[in-house]
């Protein structure tokens, strides 16, 4: 059997960490099995679906290095959905209901007040023709529910193990809105059948939906796919993922935070699994090591600091050839391999390289508040050539001659040479600035 999976986002907003994790794990599974990955756009919500969101989702997948074997849009398949819906109506598995949302809310509240589960009572099945005509005369349009069989619903989940529901304790799900538009459930099941989906990977918040879907597959005489329900991720404190990076879109993580795609992939691919989280420079080893059996049902914690550490480590290990084109795109094509190798151990974000280049190459306006001290520093400037020990040699000499130490020794030198009160390490900077540039700045 060839594995067929799908990632099926709704283009109603920007893709976030949780969505991307599902996409990545689905893709890793497909590629580890030599399978087929379908990118399916669930855009039946015409009011909220936007092309810009679809493009952003596609860009995020591409940026992370994920490709797809086919792409489909649900908005192109409405005729197919209508045909299957008619089939279910003819088989008496879909039935019309005329209750308003207010009436349904009252029913729910009444059941809850009596300590009973808020399951729809199937009152619509008892309506007479006269009652239906009366509702229609009032202008009511029916919504349509799927009639569940009151039998056990079981499956072996690739992550959760044995899962069981009692069909009698589930409320018949609404599949068709009052305006006649189909809901997610039926469209998704029809797509999974038509595109031969063998495995469905999604969040654990869909577990009860899966119970409905299994009976829909069976009602359409289709083979039920396997399921893998991923536990939802939380923040580092175990709460809802809403703080800082966890709630940002992938576009913002890339464009504002400046994170490397493999830092995100390295974290999300292993989060919640028994494999160690470590930095990877490519997706291949993550594909080769992928196995659903390594994932637990426990809630994985998304740690921003862990993501930052991975990002820095990946940058520290990047060879010059891997960044040469990116440097040119930033207007920093003059940076050579020796410069990159010198500064990369001090980068936390790739964009930090701009600060290093500005400080080493200028223009810089020196900040000199104690001219006598800076004059002494100029007189004791170590001769060229300079290396990583030049800064300590220079400051040791000045400490001996002036008696200065700590901030009083270092800060005036940094301000005079870089024009800044903070910035990259001076031990690394000084050889990159060079003897001539340093002397000019000290004498300014």
Q: Hey, what CATH topology would domain 93-151+160-176 get?
A: 3.90.800
Q: Give residue-wise pLDDT tens across range 248-290.
A: 789 999 998 999 999 999 999 999 999 999 999 999 999 999 9
User: Mean pLDDT across the chain, nearest whole number?
Assistant: 95
The three-state DSSP-derived secondary structure of the chain is: CCCEEEECCCCCCCCEHHHHHHHHHHHHHHHHCCCEEEEEECCCCCCCCCHHHHHHHHHHHHHCCCCCCEEEEHHHCHHHHHHHHHHHHHCCCEEEECCCHHHHHHHHHHHHHCCCCCCCCCHHHHCCHHHHHHHHHCCCCCEEEECCCCCEEEEEECCCEEEEEEHHHCCCCEEECCCCCECHHHHHHHHHHHCCCCEEEEEHHHHHHHHHHHHHHHHCCCCCCEEEEECCCEECCCCCCCCHHHHCEHHHHHHCCCCCHHHHHHHHHHCCECCCCCCCCCCHHHHHCCCHHHECCCCCEECHHHHHHHHHHHHHCCCHHHHHHHHHHCCCCCCCHHHHHHHHHHCCCCCHHHHHHHHHHCCCCCCCCCHHHHHHHHHCCCCCCCCCCHHHHHHHHHHHHHCCCCHHHHHHHHHHHHCCCCCCCHHHHHHHHCHHHHHHHHHC
Q: What confidence score (pLDDT) does residue 242 get?
A: 57
Q: What confidence score (pLDDT) does residue 143 get?
A: 97
Q: What confidence score (pLDDT) does residue 245 get?
A: 65
Q: What confidence score (pLDDT) does residue 244 get?
A: 59
Architecture of domain 4-79+182-233: 3-Layer(aba) Sandwich (3.40)
Q: Hey, what CATH topology would domain 371-443 get?
A: Arc Repressor Mutant, subunit A (1.10.10)
Enter the pTM of the model: 0.91
Calculate what percentage of the chain has a pLDDT beyond 70: 98
Domain-by-domain residue ranges, the chain?
A: 4-79+182-233, 93-151+160-176, 235-316, 320-361, 371-443
User: Which pLDDT band holds residue 246 (cuts at 50, 70, 90)?
Assistant: low
Q: What confidence score (pLDDT) does residue 9 get?
A: 96
User: Which pLDDT band holds residue 1 (cuts at 50, 70, 90)?
Assistant: confident
Architecture of domain 235-316: Orthogonal Bundle (1.10)
Q: Is the per-residue pLDDT at 314 higher than 90?
A: yes
Mean pLDDT for the stretch of residues 418-432? 92
Q: Is the per-residue pLDDT at 186 higher than 90?
A: yes
Mean pLDDT for the stretch of residues 19-34? 97
Q: Give residue-wise pLDDT tens across range 333-362.
A: 999 999 999 999 999 999 999 999 999 998
Calculate what percentage of the chain has a pLDDT beyond 90: 92
């Amino acid at each position: 059997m060839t594995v067929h999976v799908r990632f099926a986002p709704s283009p109603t907003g920007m893709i976030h960490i949780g969505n991307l994790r599902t996409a990545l794990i689905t893709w890793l599974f497909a590629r580890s099995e030599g399978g087929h990955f379908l990118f399916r756009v669930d855009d039946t919500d015409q009011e909220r679906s936007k092309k810009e969101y679809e493009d952003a989702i596609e860009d995020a997948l591409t940026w992370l290095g994920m490709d797809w074997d086919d792409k489909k849009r649900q908005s192109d398949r409405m005729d197919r959905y209508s045909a299957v819906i008619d089939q279910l109506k003819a088989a008496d598995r879909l039935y019309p209901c005329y209750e308003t949302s207010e009436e349904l809310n009252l029913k729910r509240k009444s059941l809850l007040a009596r300590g009973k589960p808020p399951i729809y009572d199937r009152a619509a099945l008892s309506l007479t023709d006269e009652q239906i005509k009366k509702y229609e005369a009032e202008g009511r349009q029916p919504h349509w529910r799927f009639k569940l069989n009151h039998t056990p619903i079981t499956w072996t989940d690739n992550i959760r193990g044995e899962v069981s529901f009692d069909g009698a304790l589930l409320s018949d799900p609404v599949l068709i809105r009052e305006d006649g538009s189909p809901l997610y459930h039926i469209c998704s099941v029809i797509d999974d059948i038509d595109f031969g989906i063998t495995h469905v990977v999604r969040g654990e918040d869909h577990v009860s939906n899966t119970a409905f879907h299994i009976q829909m597959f069976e009602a359409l005489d289709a083979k039920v796919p396997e399921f893998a329900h991923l536990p939802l991720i939380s923040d580092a404190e175990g709460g809802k993922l809403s703080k800082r990076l966890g709630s940002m879109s992938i576009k913002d993580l890339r464009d504002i935070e400046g994170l490397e795609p493999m830092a995100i992939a390295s974290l999300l691919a292993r989060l919640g699994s028994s494999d160690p989280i470590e930095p990877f420079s490519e997706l291949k080893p993550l594909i080769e090591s992928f196995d659903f059996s390594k994932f637990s049902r426990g809630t994985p914690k998304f740690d921003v600091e862990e993501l930052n550490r991975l990002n820095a480590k990946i940058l520290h290990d990047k060879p010059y050839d891997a960044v040469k084109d990116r440097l040119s795109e930033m207007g920093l094509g003059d940076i050579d391999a020796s410069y990159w190798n010198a500064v990369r151990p001090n980068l936390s974000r790739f964009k930090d390289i701009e600060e290093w280049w500005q400080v080493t190459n200028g223009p810089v306006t020196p900040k000199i508040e104690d001219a006598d001290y800076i004059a002494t520093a100029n007189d004791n400037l170590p001769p060229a050539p300079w290396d990583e020990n030049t800064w300590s040699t220079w400051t040791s000499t000045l400490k001996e001659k002036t008696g200065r130490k700590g901030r009083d020794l270092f800060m005036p030198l940094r301000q005079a040479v870089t024009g800044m009160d903070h910035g990259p390490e001076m031990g690394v900077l000084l050889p990159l600035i060079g003897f001539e540039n340093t002397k000019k700045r000290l004498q300014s």
